[in-house]
Amino acid sequence: MNTNRINSWLPSANIAGCEFPLANLPYAVFSCGNEKHYIGVGIGDSIVNLCALEEAGLFDELDLCLRDAVKQQALNQLMGLGHSHWTALRLRLVELLSKNTYQNQVEPCLIPQVDVSFHLPCQIGDYTDFYTSVHHATRVGSLFRPDNPLLPNYKWIPIGYHGRSSSIRISGEAFKRPVGQLKAPDAECPELGLCKRLDYELELGIFIGKGSQLGTPVSMVDAEQHVFGVSMFNDWSARDIQAWEYQPLGPFLSKNFFSSLSPWIVPMEALAPYRCDWTRDSADPQPLDYLDSKVNRDKGAIDIKLEVWIETAKMRADNQPAERLSKSNFKESYWTIAQMVTHHTVNGCDLKPGDLLGSGTQSGPNHEESGSLLELTAGGKAPITLSNGEQRSFVEDGDRIILKGYCGDDQLKIGLGQVDNLVLSGSKPE
């Protein structure tokens, strides 16, 4: 069902450039002045309480399993029901929010977004971070291996590593600068200290819906049947801790201290109009058969515009707005969502509802499209200058980093919300 030309009876959902028009309907989990969490869907400047809709009898025509799932305090149960149930719920929500005959019944279930507190949308059991931007991988590799930026496996395998789900938090939370072992190139021994090279990573979070069975790979044909939706994701990184620890097994304390998500999960159906062809340069290795399909080549990429903004402590003190550092697009990704899911399971690994895949830092082909300060500042050697004269090599205490994403344009926009977090000063353990 194409909802791009259907208006809602809620005026704020029809304003040009609104991030949550009827064509979006992203999911979130929220609370209102009490401890109970509810599943909600964004529409205009409001959020509609799905539990309240069910209790009002507005979901009576849906399957009992769906009616039970929307009354839960997290999305996992709904995620696990699968694509046909997600579609049925979406169609009913479009009906309720577009037909004037339902307005009087639905309005009591609407709450202004500014009046709610958001929470993690689901219980994240496992988290895998990928490395899908060849532009990011090449620029970072050039800093450490100028003669051989990309390792031989990069163009054959969707590279990823298993991350830590317990330290994933929601947009709006502040966190302290992390501590870890640091070793200067000319130092004889490492020392325990505060991270000096804190960085953001502009990523998408991809949420698994329907799970898979242990020992049963998910094919490219079925891969996206297991994907519930996407969110903005910041995989914060301590670059100096990472440099000392990452060999031979990869990131550890440099990545598990804090990661952050937008509260909103945009369903894959809302992104369907923005699918585009995915190509692989003829000079590059073509994917092995299990990672290739006609559908992936025709519609595997998604045109999602991504942005990084910074608000420094000085900007806040001077009442200056945040400033954009870079922008890029997910359609530039070297590997698609389907390829990530398929490769993740080819060895028989099972997926569960609520599992999270990070896309890896999304950088475009041009330097100014870099999705991290590590790239923008050439590893800190070429600091960037902000419009107020401040300079940044890496993120400083008091900085607020804001990641934004959306499809479409200023007339019809499908927003992924934003993830913003404030960095606080840390303290070295005694």
Residues forming beta bridges with residue 41, ordered by sequence position: 27, 48
Three-state secondary-structure class, residue 138:
helix
361 marked as binding residue: yes
Task: Determine whether the annotation assigns residue 224 to a binding site.
Answer: no
Q: Report phi then psi at 23, rounded to 5.
A: -75, -10
Alpha carbons within 13 angstroms on the beta-carbon side of residue 274 total 24
Backbone phi and psi for residue 54, each to the nearest 5 degrees, phi listed first? -65, -45
H helices within 293-345, ranges in order?
A: 294-299, 313-317, 337-345
Cα distances (Å, whole numbers) of residue 118 to 42, 106, 131, 307, 392: 12, 21, 28, 22, 31
Quote the CA–CA distance of 300 and 271 in Å, as a whole number.
11
Q: Is residue 277 classed exposed, middle or buried when 0-12, 13-18 and 19+ CB atoms within 10 A define those classes? A: exposed
Whether the Cβ atoms of residue 238 and residue 193 lie closer than 8 Å to each other: no
Sign of CA dihedral 231, 232, 236, 237: positive
The answer to whether 286 is a known ligand-binding residue is no
Q: How many CB atoms lie within 10 A of CB 215?
A: 10
Q: Is 126 helix (H, G, I), strand (E, B) or coil?
A: coil
DSSP state of 395: B
Catalytic residue among 37, 135, 136, 344: 136
Phi, psi of 294 (to 5 degrees): -65, -40
Residue 92 annotated as lining a ligand binding site? no
Q: Is 103 annotated as a binding residue?
A: no
DSSP-assigned beta bridge partners for residue 262: none
* Enclosing H/E stretch for 329: strand 323-329
**Is the preceding peptide bond at 248 cis, omega within 30 degrees of 0?**
yes
> What is the number of other CB atoms lying within 10 angstroms of the CB of residue 185?
5
> Is 246 annotated in some ligand binding site?
yes
* Inter-CA distances, 344 with 83, 160, 337, 388, Å: 20, 9, 11, 45
Residue 131 annotated in ligand binding: yes
145 assigned binding-site residue: yes
Question: Any known ligand binding at 200?
Answer: no
* 129 assigned ligand-binding residue: yes
Residue 269 labelled as part of a binding site: no
As given in the structure block, the two tokens for residue 340 are 């990530």
Burial of 161 (C-beta count, 10 Å sphere; 0-12/13-18/19+) = middle
367 is catalytic: no
**Could you tell me which residues come within 8 angstroms of residue 313 by beta carbon, excluding any fewer than 6 positions away?**
397, 398, 399
Known binding-site residues for Mg(2+) equal 235, 255, 259
Residues in the annotated binding site for Ca(2+) = 129, 201, 203, 235
> Which residues belong to the annotated binding site?
129, 131, 145, 201, 203, 235, 242, 246, 255, 259, 361
Q: Which residues are catalytic?
A: 136
Where is the binding site for substrate, in residues?
A: 131, 145, 242, 246, 361
